[in-house]
Amino acid sequence: MQNRYILSLLVFLFIIFQHSVAQTDAEYKKRVEEVRKEVWGWNIPAFNNRTIPAALANESGVVIARHQEIKAISKTKFKFLVITAAKYKEIYFTNTYREMVKINDKATLEEFSEFSYQKSKRLAKFFSRNLKGRVTILGIRIIKPDGTIKEIDVNEEVMIKNDNDEKQSKVAVSGLEVGDIIDYFVSRQEEEAVGYRTEPYLFIFGDDKPIMHYSVHCEVGATCAVEYRAMNGAPEFKVKKDADGDNILDAEYQNIPKSPVDLWMSSARQLPILRLNIRVGGPRKIKRKEGEVYRNQPYQQIIEDVKVDMKEDFYGSQLGLVAEGLSGEIKSMIKRMRRQDDLPKDSLPYYIYYAFRYIAFYKVDANDKINVGLERNYQAPNKKKFLLLLSLILDKLGINNEIILATSVYGPDTKQVMLADDFEYIIKTTKNTPVYMSAEGVFTNCNYIPAEYEGQQNPTVVVKGFTKSSIRLDDEAMQNIGKSSAKQNVQTENLKVSVSDNMEELKIARKTVLKGQMRQGAQRHLLLFEDYYEEERKALGVKESFMEEFADSRKNRSLADEYTAAFAKARSEWKDRFISEISGEFDTKPKDVTSYKIDNMGLRHTKPDFIYSTQFTIEGWIKRGGNNYIVDMGKLIGGQLQLKPEQLERSVDIYMACARTFEYIISFEIPQGYKAEGLDKLAVNTTNQAGSFIADAKQEGNTIKLKITKIYNSAFERADKWPKLIEILNAANDFQSKKILLRKG
């Protein structure tokens, strides 16, 4: 559906705010008509083309023309929005994205049959309700093979959400058929206060469809500075100034082949991309000169910007003062812990990390909003402030450390960064065996590095000293972050399977063990705050729980009752989480889940594996055939990635989440009075340079023993290894269709 497609466009359309001036329908409709007339009237020859080359005739869809136009100009030049003047200078932004696509089959027809979009969204509450914001305008036309043009009435929309803060709509594209061309645009208009930090624009010259022509046009007012970077062979902007001194930037690219953007790619590393950042004038430490265009700045300049950001965070959030206070609190926790247990000095970095994580995510204050459900599990900190503060605390407690400026494999590498935000922080202690610290969320272990930062070479910054009110930073040498292996990132499924008495269901007792990079998603989905809070509190030697504190307090006694009720509600909904997890793993909803529990939470590096057990029944995997039964044994390994025909050919390198191993250890109990046939067909051995899929089967008494292992050797493979990966994927899919016969006799 086009819902997904419009969401993907938000990669191009930076997050912007709602213009919330009360306007009449007539004013809005007038503005919409002006925008439509403007966009449909663009003098861009590519949009007058109606034919595609014969070489593209068999493609599911073809982007005939794509154009994006950005304007960041002063109020006096802005054409559409009429907003009450403010006492400070404003810049108006428009971001208009237009695309014309030939519909060649039902898959592309389905993709464009409906549009969902955010019509308006109010700016953050602390801004004036009568000033800032954005408006989104949508236009859709169908061009028939005979040249007839039909414009869709987008006013015939269905409101998904309609309140004072936000309006969301969906529009059906009635009359669209295979063979048609859809021509649509999304225009977002907004107003920004001077000094607001804008988000960068991405112009990605690649898609899952071939693009015949892609052009970009930007007009940026003389009060703004412009930064851009051309990546991976993208065309450079052609830059000129107009009569008012505004910068005009244009770029175009033609005949762009399709790419498997939804399958194991890193667009930021593999596709031609232009990144553009507009810095609005105003007070800012990271200063660029108004009216200037900064092309492909050296990464060393961005590192200097990072250090400025660090200092702004330090001073703005008073991190020196906070570090003083938290260091004292953690030092007291360490003293209490040493009375209870021998705490070796080399374990101090670990204890400090877990104590800080506890304070940030686990500790509950009487003034906190009660939040004990899934939402709490998905909390993530401001990673940079979290780790900068942790670095200061470590330094205060005598642990020397440095901050690695890490780049994600799904973002630009160090040499192609454009903004300070392109870097994330990872802490590395510098004495004895290095200990790494990251800030992915509630369940991040000490000495854990997220997979996306593995294998990168990155610069480092070290805090050379700080007080409550000052900080000194310095550069250090480049650091190589290591890679985890397939042996470290493992999902093991132990399944004991039997047939129900009525011979209509499989009964499955399952124990799942998740190691390394395989762990965190399931932890977030399945753990209960009540349980992991208690485990960490005790591990850190915190004597009294917040529930006990509240119960002993006359002022907060009622809060203990409220939390008790909230815990009970979360636990009552826990089973649904396991049902969802089982359904996702096996591509089938269980008939019933009779047992579920957490065996090990995996909260610490000392016991890092996340282990849980479930018992459930599944219908449809055993079928009667006369007096015999057929069992879908292959389905016990869960859903497998199935390639589309167009994905079989690949010319770009492969970026997977991580090197990883999947193990399935299955015991199947043969029902009394039956014999199993077809075990020999379960044996598989596909092994090559990219990995392996191996299945062994044997019978011991009345039990079938199966061991299946699927391994991806590396997170990254060159394109020439794609046929090898296909061999592994095909072997897994073939095995999933394997069956055995239970013959009566």
pLDDT at 85 over 90: no
Weakest-pLDDT range from 249-253, 312-316, 670-674: 312-316
Q: What average pLDDT score do residues 353-361 get?
A: 95
Q: Is residue 559 part of a domain?
A: no
Residue 325 shares a structural domain with residue 401 = yes
Among 236, 266, 296, give the residue marking a domain's end: 296
Rounded average pLDDT over 558-572: 94
Tell me, yes or no, whether 340 and 251 share the same domain. Answer: no
Whether residue 609 lies inside any domain: the answer is: yes
What per-residue confidence (pLDDT) applies to 730? 97
668 or 309, which is more confident: 668
Boundary of a domain, candidates 241, 273, 296: 296
What pLDDT score was predicted for residue 17? 28
Residue 475 belongs to some domain of the structure: yes
Do 216 and 330 sit in the same domain of this protein?
no
608 three-state secondary structure: coil
- Which residues have a Cβ under 8 Å from the Cβ of 473 and sit 6 or more positions away? 307, 310, 311, 461, 462, 463, 464
Q: What pLDDT is stored for residue 6 in this prediction?
A: 38
Q: Which residue type is seen at 521?
A: G
Question: Which range among 366-370, 390-394, 689-693 shows the weakest confidence by mean pLDDT?
Answer: 366-370
Q: Could you tell me if 621 and 655 lie in one domain?
A: yes
283 confidence band (pLDDT: 50, 70, 90): very low
Task: Flag whether pLDDT at 633 surpasses 70.
Answer: yes
For residue 562, pLDDT beyond 50: yes
Comparing 62-66, 434-438, 538-542, 616-620, which segment has the lowest mean pLDDT? Answer: 538-542
Q: Are residues 212 and 324 in the same domain?
A: no
Are 228 and 314 in the same domain? Answer: no
Query: Which pTM value belongs to this model?
Result: 0.87
Residue 219 has pLDDT above 90, yes or no: yes
CATH classification of the domain holding 101 = 2.60.40.3140
Nearest-angstrom CA–CA distance, 277 and 55: 37
488-508 tens-digit pLDDT: 999 999 999 999 999 999 999
pLDDT in tens, 287-319: 788 899 999 999 999 999 999 989 988 988 899
Query: Does some domain include residue 546?
Result: no
Q: Identify the pLDDT of residue 81.
A: 41
- % of the chain beyond a pLDDT of 90: 69
Query: Residue 118: inside a domain, yes or no?
Result: yes
Do 78 and 15 share a domain, yes or no?
yes
Mean pLDDT along residues 76-87: 41
In a domain, 558, yes or no: no
Asked if residue 402 has pLDDT above 90, the reply is yes
> Which burial class, exposed, middle or buried, applies to 437 when counting CB atoms under 10 A from its CB (0-12, 13-18, 19+)?
buried
Question: Could you read off the pLDDT of 147-203 as tens digits, one per residue?
Answer: 999 998 887 766 656 665 556 678 888 899 999 999 999 998 776 554 445 678 999
Higher pLDDT, 256 or 244: 256
Of 432, 458, 480, at which residue does a domain stop?
A: 480
Q: How far is CA 616 from CA 497, 583, 586, in A?
A: 10, 11, 12
d(CA 228, CA 250): 12
The pLDDT of residue 103 is above 50: yes
Using DSSP, state whether 727 is helix, strand or coil: helix
Looking at the fold, whether 109 and 45 belong to one and the same domain comes out as yes
Number of domains in the chain: 3
Task: Say if residue 734 is in the same domain as residue 713.
Answer: yes
Which range of 187-201, 218-232, 454-468 scores highest in mean pLDDT? It is 218-232
Residue 473 neighbours by CB distance under 10 Å: 17
Residue that has been written with the tokens 């399709």 in this structure: 258
Domain that holds residue 256: 2-296
Does residue 649 fall inside a structural domain? yes
Looking at the structure, do residues 232 and 147 belong to the same domain, yes or no? Answer: yes
Question: Does 543 fall in a domain?
Answer: no
Please provide the DSSP assignment of 227-252 as one string: EEEEETTPPPPEEEE-TTS-EEEEEE
pLDDT in tens, 711-738: 999 999 999 999 999 999 999 999 999 9
CA angle, 313 then 381 then 513, to 5°? 145
Residues 173 and 240 in one domain: yes
Are residue 261 and residue 318 in the same domain, yes or no?
no
> Chain-wide mean pLDDT for the chain?
87
